Every structure is written in structure tokens, then in C-alpha cells.
Amino acid sequence: MDQKPMPEILHPEDAIVRVTRSCICGSDLHLYNGNVPDTRVGTTFGHEFTGIVEEVGSEVHKLKVGDHVLVPFNIACGKCSFCQQGLYGNCHESNPEATAVGGIFGYSHTAGGYDGGQAEYVRVPYANVSPTVIPPGMDVEDAVMLCDVVPTGYQAAEMGGIQPGDTVVVFGAGPVGIMAARCAWLFGAGRVIVIDNVDYRLEFVKNYAPAEVYNFDEIGDVVLFMKKATDWLGADVCIDAVGAEASGSIMHKLTGQALLQAGAATALHWAINSVKKGGIVSIVGVYGPTGNMVPIGNVVNKGITIRANQTGVKRLLPRLIEHVQSGVLNPKALITHRLPLEEVAEGYHIFSDKLDNCIKPVLIP
Ligand code: NAD
Ligand code: ZN
């Protein structure tokens, strides 16, 4: 672990937060695996964190020193046209040079080059917008899951446009897929199926969501299996909660161009090919910027709607805080590992290699 200088207030709307909990996310694994362009050595990772406000800039009025806050992963100005539409993950002001994403804590210079929260202290820009005081009585482990996993799982289900009775198939039983499967019921799903090849994760989501689960290494042709399981019609909604590594889109480390792997069987292919005609594919899995081998012919011929985005956490927080407080969602149940910040490298190792039944690790500075 490296020592870095204390972050400083650089703008009147900044706050400095002393981190209390900081998770490692599947999105961090894309950085870890070298799949996000312009990830510079020395940048601090970490976009899911809670902390105590240590210092505030002169124009911060929403937070005060001593508040315990949860900090959504998006850095959002709250004023640009995208934030005004609720697209807090697509803020312009926090990352004006980008072609796509808004600012994100600890997520490379393509997401603004902001240092993240896998650290003792972090600078939080636009502190009046997204950071939220943890409601009294809420467990800090539930709160840290509201920074990303809960809203992303919920948005995955929401983008799926689930109608009452729908069959929903979730690809990926990581924290995000698990939460998407649980949230699918909130929208009225009639049947929820989860696909992965990590048995302990499937076992967890089977009980937690609950869901019907299948190991893709054991069911043969996944698309054929899904057709047979749905009267040959296909699923109403498919959710991709996997992203880049599984989808033949490994990026060239220097050029950022996708290295296409011909014929790669992928979660996104399976989602597109398993959904029924006219169905919806909701993508929350994170991909490199270009060329991810989408089977576009099948999208056109089946009349599929694809919906995708980085989660605009702030838009969803009020209702999700309620769902956590009422017990409808129990996100801290996903946290399997608690490590001191010094053991961050071990945390990445366990989470990435799926050791010791790891679902979600949290670092405690
Ligand atoms: P994770 O790495 O813990 O989970 C991914 C799971 O997918 C693993 O269990 C893995 O075994 C499984 N998998 C791999 N290949 C598969 C395949 N072909 N079919 C089915 N399952 C497969 O990650 P996570 O934290 O759950 O995040 C999941 C994805 O969501 C990542 O791509 C992450 O970057 C993304 N994400 C997006 C947002 C957003 O705002 N859109 C926010 C958070 C995370
Ligand atoms: Zn995350």
C-alpha cells in the first residue's frame, strides 16, 4: 500500500471524507485486468464508500463536519442538462472531455481521473449533490451497498421494463446480478432465472433472490436450454450483469481498441439470443468503449430493445433507502469478507479468483 498526500479542498463545493468502509466491485476488476483505457499508475481505485466528513468547502451546505455519509459512485454536478434529466451517471461537467461516461471515483482518466475511496481519505467533489447522510439506525454495511450495488441491480431490473408475470433471466451471479435478481421481483416478475458457473454464488442467489439457477458449464448450449425452458419463446427480459471479460471484448492495452475474439460465447450474446422476439435486453455489465461483437443482426431481426447505462445512483436513492430500511432488500447479506485496508491486494485476489466463497469484500481503513 502506498502513502499519498492528504487530499485537499480544491473547489468550494468539495468535501474531504475519512473513509469508514470501501468495497471492491466487479467494475474494479476491469481496471485490475487492464480493460479500461487510460488507467494510470498512482490513481487510487474505489468508488463504493462511506465516510465521516472531515472538512467542507465554503459553498457546501448539505453536509457538515462529522456527518457519516454514503457517497454514490457517480460524480455529478447536479446542474448540467444530463443531471437535470436524472442521468447522474452521464454528468457532463464532472468529465467534460469524455465521449461517454460522467465522472466516477477511482475509475481511470476516462472517467475523469478522480482518486477513489480505497484509501483513508478522499476528496468528494460536488458535495451538495450526491453524498447522502446515512439515515439513523442504518447499518454502515447496508449503506455502503447503496453506493452502487443496490442501485445498479435495481436499475438493471427497471431498464428491463419487467411486466407482471415476466420471465427474467439474469446473466452473472456477482453482487450486481444477485441484486438484479432480487429486484426483478419488485417489478412483478413471475419467474427469475440466474446463470453463472460459480456454484457457491448460484447457491447464494438461489436462496437470496430467490431464483432458479443454472451453471452454464453444465447445461450445454445455453441459448437452446433457455428456449426449451421457455416454451421455445425465449425470456421476456434478459439482464447482462457480467460485462467485458466474458464477452470477447478484451481491450488492447495501448490503443484501447477491442481485440475481437471470433466466435466467443458471451453473456451478452446469450442475453440477446435468449430473449424473445420484441423482448428487452438490459445491460449493466461494463464494457470497453468500442466493438464488443454485439450480434446486431439478431437484434434487428428479433426487434429487441436494448437498454443500458451507468447507474444514476442519486435518482434511485430515496426509494432504495426505503427498501433497505423496510427490509425488502437486505444488501449487507452479500458482504462475505471484511479486510483492513492494508490487505487490499488480498481482497482483489480473493474477489477476482472467487476464493473462499467470496461474494463482496469490504475494506475497513
Ligand atoms: P463480478 O465480477 O463479481 O460478477 C460477475 C459474475 O459473472 C461472476 O460471478 C462470473 O462468474 C459471472 N460470469 C462470467 N462470465 C459469465 C457468462 N458468460 N455468463 C454468466 N455469468 C458469467 O461483478 P459484479 O460486481 O457483480 O458486477 C457485474 C458487472 O456489472 C460488471 O461488469 C461491473 O463492471 C458492472 N457494473 C456496472 C455498473 C453500472 O453502473 N452499469 C455498476 C456496477 C457494476
Ligand atoms: Zn461498483
Rounded Cα distance, 343 and 228, in Å: 46
| pLDDT surpasses 50 at 247 | no
Ligand 1 centre to CA of 284 (Å) is 8
Interface confidence: ipTM more than 0.95: yes
* DSSP summary character for residue 94: T
Per-residue confidence (pLDDT) for residue 287, from 0 to 100: 82
Distance CA 216, CA 120 (A): 40
Decide if 244 contacts 286 (C-beta within 8 A). yes
Q: Report whether pLDDT(253) > 50.
A: no
Q: Do 238 and 281 meet the contact criterion of CB atoms below 8 Å apart? A: yes
The span from the CA of 288 to the CA of 277, in Å, is 27
**Ligand 1 atom 9, closest CA:** 174
Residue 249 confidence (pLDDT):
45
CB atoms within 10 A of CB 100: 11
Residue 259 reports pLDDT greater than 80: no
Contact call for residues 179 and 154 (beta carbons, < 8 A): yes
The CATH 3.90.180.10 portion of the chain extends over 15-148+312-364
* Confidence band, pLDDT 50/70/90 cuts, at residue 325: very high
- Which residues belong to CATH 3.40.50.720 in the chain? 149-308
Fold of 149-308: Rossmann fold (3.40.50)
Ligand 2 centroid to Cα of residue 5, in Å, is: 25
- What confidence score (pLDDT) does residue 348 get? 96
Which tens digit of pLDDT belongs to each residue from 125-173?
Answer: 999 999 999 999 999 999 999 999 999 999 999 999 999 999 999 999 9
Taking the centre of ligand 1 as the mean of its atom positions, its distance from the CA of residue 173, in whole angstroms, is 7
The 10s digit of each residue's pLDDT in 197-241 is 999 999 999 999 999 999 999 999 999 999 999 999 999 999 999
What is the atom index within ligand 1 of the atom nearest the CA of 27? 34
Mean pLDDT, the chain, whole residue set: 93
- The model's confidence at residue 289, banded by pLDDT at 50, 70 and 90, is low
Of the listed ligands, the closest to the CA of 285 is: 1
Assign 58 a pLDDT band (cuts: 50, 70, 90): very high
Q: Which ligand is nearest to the CA of 351?
A: 1
- Reported as a pLDDT band with limits 50, 70 and 90, residue 80 is very high
Please tell me the distance between residue 250's alpha carbon and the centre of ligand 1 in angstroms.
15
pTM: 0.96
Quote the pLDDT of residue 203.
Answer: 98
User: What is the Cα–Cα distance from 77 to 47, expressed in whole angstroms?
Assistant: 16
pLDDT at position 290 over 80: no
Residues lining ligand 1, Cβ inside 6 A: 25-27, 29-30, 148, 152, 171-177, 195-198, 201, 216, 241-243, 246, 266-267, 284-286, 310-311
CATH topology of domain 15-148+312-364: Quinone Oxidoreductase; Chain A, domain 1 (3.90.180)
Q: Are 45 and 264 in contact (CB under 8 A)?
A: no
Q: In degrees, to the nearest 5, what angle opens at C-alpha 85 toward C-alphas 80 and 91?
A: 40
pLDDT > 90: percent of the chain: 85
Nearest CA to ligand 1 atom 25: 26
Tell me the average pLDDT across 75-79: 98
**Per-residue confidence (pLDDT) for residue 245, from 0 to 100:** 63
User: Which one of the ligands is nearest to 144 CA?
Assistant: 2
Banded model confidence at residue 252, pLDDT cuts 50, 70, 90? very low
Residues of the chain above pLDDT 70, percent: 93
Strand ranges inside the chain, DSSP E:
15-23, 49-56, 68-71, 74-75, 103-104, 121-124, 132-133, 167-171, 191-196, 212-215, 235-240, 275-283, 305-308, 335-340, 360-364
